Chain A
């Protein structure tokens, strides 16, 4: 090959790099053979006390779910996993049709009219929703209703700084089932949107219809970041008047994976179709049907293409609706397969199982001497607040001594129910034995604390 290029050494390939910058000293460990690599990675994995054998009651935006196993096997197919963004539709119908399935699943689940093919995660999808609301309303302030995931709030601040928008944080309504009073009076014609989480960060179920009605009085759009499993049980946000639904799809697609890669859901009303960020797939037909052996043209077949592309960065450049390019397509595929495998009844039953297991666990903890376990508001889904005989940090530390991650310390939060509390999550995938182990450990911590306060 070098001879064909008229070169005597491969070093000449890089002759345009000025010599003083060429081949610098770089520190990278020497190459490992596959077998050595596997050993190394197993050792890294073993340094984590993080597999499912380890009881954990952490949720707060990342949930261990029962994902149908076929979701994981479908995405391993090389034709899906090793394709690029479907720029050539004739040889990308697998990715494209699956993405259309995804859009359809998301629309059905959220009760919305249009969906894109997914964004990075719930946090950045919610931020994109805020930017879209600002474009649509031409307003510059954003109201955020607590309790919202602190990670999401942090991302909103990052994106708001980019777009020079103001963020106003509204205190939590005492009961998320009656959010109107916290909103009326706080919103006015400056607000592009109100951002809310369903269920809220402390687990409470929000009445999105009352909330939307209150927010719409000032002309603000409503952006709701929803847990897709909870939507198996709860009213579709689109039916409740929400304008943009975002959410986190990762946990219904596969393992929590240290919180990423994730899958941002993003669905909206058809009126706002041309303002959506990200990629969108549309259904169309062949220009000409295939030719039969006798030369006759058959009926054109149905196919799928990336559409509404004039919104996107590679065409509109500095006036694009977003800079979004590579996204989370393979996770969207796993999400789609998982939901289509569960089907309407499976998803509903999973959501209800999650609800019942969490409520039963809370009731059992509440019965323990020295503990109070309460969900936030009138109705809650899978997370509840536990107060015990010791301050939250100390309680968690003693549970850790017993091999259990007890939950998240939320005692620094402003909501009254978070005071002195840990946030405990029980889902449909939490093994019953883990809940028993938690109950036992809590009892033993209480006994220990009683003995030596």
Chain B
């Protein structure tokens, strides 16, 4: 095997190596052997690859080279906040005293890691304007579930759960919002977006009544825009006895500038792997702490780090919705986020939002003539949602093609076809860690692609041609799914 293997995907680790070959040795048990369980309880066969260690390393090194990460280049995935992750934070998380701590160790022996958790809770509360937080959720979607369940239990305690069965979600929301509300047993009512890109106030007014449990609002929203009149929305939601939930996936846009609690939100989650710069790992791990005001604090998921005379300990809020994981949360990620926060300080965090918003606006200015901009306020926050509608209409080049063509220009494409309310959407978030030259280079590629769409539309339709692999056939994969290795003939 070598890195330049033509069809590396055709051979998995399972298809390589040779029977009996080993990558690592295991100490032999030399002592007196206890009897093993009888045959009926024991494994009969185990098929795993048999490779030398060098083969394993080369195979995975070869695979890694087929990937594009933020370490490779600009990665402007809207809503996903792909910014550079400081390497020192990884090293801090690997310090043996933190990485080897057992979750059930006596609390007085893990005061150091509990201090990290406690200070992170406090800092997040201060940054979001809330009274209390729990670091338990493993990711944003689990943070959402925690928040909605806190609302559910609070309504239960008020004796109103029976009649409050609806959750309002704007049509621009991430799919996790309606999926979470449904998972928590609520029905979802969609609120349309007005032409200025904020929620349609009249539609909201029509839907708000005593059957509503909560409204979930992404702040700023997925169009990269400030939700106008959010404090009034909060007042109206509260007037009918419902709660207002903030999806904090875009917190990086307003870090240090505005706080969910001040705006009238009751509960929120934030994605530490986005705003607080921990590596995304090809899809995790992340962390999605949940934060709330005093009213919902008794319902926070367990555990929370509490401080009392005896020091720091893990506690369970009085009316907690319970645990979300066996143990305490994604501490390896929490340590990285804490390290990031301490190395930035408040001024650094304010610089994050400033540069992120500046970059997004600069990109908007560079591209606004070449692409459509459906919800245009002349200004955006952390991301800009363009549309490839002109390219599709005039040249038959779709957003999908534009994305693939960007790969040939050496960039990771932005988020496409989301939010759902924007046709042919291109949702671009440069983040604060892209220098001006990188933003300009990306814009240059987008402009070149717009020009190509007119002059040579076929170029887009057959892209990418310079990637490790060409366009893949998705429909047969979903019709007759091939989801695992099997030995030849099985």
Contact = CB atoms under 8 A, between A and B. Distances in A.
Contacts of B282: 80-81, 83-86, 92, 94-95, 98-99, 329-330, 333
A2 B346 CA distance: 23
A286 B473 contact: yes
Given A94-B65, A257-B331, A379-B37, A234 B43 contact: yes
B95 A45 contact: yes
A292 B69 CA distance: 28
B406 to A, nearest CB: 9
A421 interface: no
Contact of B113 (A48, A56, A122, A322): A48
A378 B344 CA distance: 56
B325 interface: yes
A167 B348 CA distance: 48
B97 to A, nearest CB: 3
Contact of A329 (B176, B284, B361, B472): B284
Contact of A301 (B6, B175, B254, B358): B6
Interface size, A (range): 35 or more
B61 interface: yes
B464 interface: yes
B176 to A, nearest CB: 5
A281 B33 contact: no
B23 A78 contact: no
Interface stretch (A186-194, A213-221, A348-356, A437-445): A348-356
A84 B75 contact: yes
Given A91-B66, A205-B37, A320-B182, A327 B139 contact: yes
A450 interface: no
B472 A284 contact: yes
Contacts of A200: none
Interface string A30-64: 11111001101111111111111000101011101
Nearest to A149: B326
A154 B285 CA distance: 22
B345 A32 contact: yes
Nearest to A113: B484
Interface size, B (range): 35 or more
Nearest to A274: B481
B138 interface: yes
A75 B8 CA distance: 20
Given A84-B80, A94-B64, A47 B115 contact: yes
Interface string A273-312: 1000001111111111111000000011111110111101
A335 interface: no
Given A13-B357, A259-B331, A357-B29, A344 B36 contact: no
Interface string A315-350: 111111011111111110100010111111111111
B474 A305 contact: yes
Given A78-B72, A97-B12, A154-B323, A28 B345 contact: yes
A284 B71 contact: no
A86 B63 CA distance: 13
B306 interface: no
A109 B48 CA distance: 8
Tell which of A22, A259, A319 has the most Cβ of chain B within 10 Å. Answer: A259
A422 to B, nearest CB: 12
Contact of B483 (A1, A61, A115, A261): A115
A16 interface: yes
Nearest to A357: B29
B440 to A, nearest CB: 10
B459 interface: no
B7 A301 contact: yes
A158 B397 CA distance: 47
A266 interface: no
A79 B472 contact: no
B377 to A, nearest CB: 8
B327 A37 contact: no
Interface stretch (A100-108, A366-374, A411-419): A100-108
B32 to A, nearest CB: 7
B283 A86 contact: yes
B263 interface: yes
Contacts of A207: 40-41
A363 B201 CA distance: 72
B362 interface: yes
Nearest to A319: B182
Nearest to B70: A82
Contacts of B93: 257
B326 A256 contact: no
A283 B9 contact: yes
B467 to A, nearest CB: 4
B266 interface: no
A6 to B, nearest CB: 9
Interface in A63-79: 64, 66, 68, 70, 73-79
Tell which of A47, A73, A149 has the most Cβ of chain B within 10 Å. Answer: A47
B175 A313 contact: yes
Contact of A120 (B138, B354, B365): B138
A350 B43 CA distance: 14
B201 to A, nearest CB: 16
Contacts of B322: 154-155, 157-158, 161
A14 B339 contact: no
A401 to B, nearest CB: 12
Interface stretch (B82-90, B237-245, B444-452): B82-90
Nearest to A302: B9
A323 B184 CA distance: 10
B327 A343 contact: no
B4 to A, nearest CB: 13
Contact of A31 (B26, B188, B348): B348
Contact of B302 (A154, A163, A313, A379): A154
Contacts of B347: 30-31
A260 interface: yes
B69 A56 contact: no
15 contacts: A46-B97, A85-B280, A95-B283, A97-B9, A107-B485, A123-B326, A256-B102, A257-B98, A261-B333, A303-B9, A315-B175, A326-B273, A341-B51, A360-B31, A379-B37
Given A61-B103, A90-B471, 18 more contacts: A51-B100, A77-B60, A78-B72, A81-B69, A83-B280, A93-B67, A94-B65, A101-B12, A103-B483, A108-B47, A154-B322, A154-B323, A233-B43, A260-B333, A262-B330, A282-B477, A328-B138, A341-B51
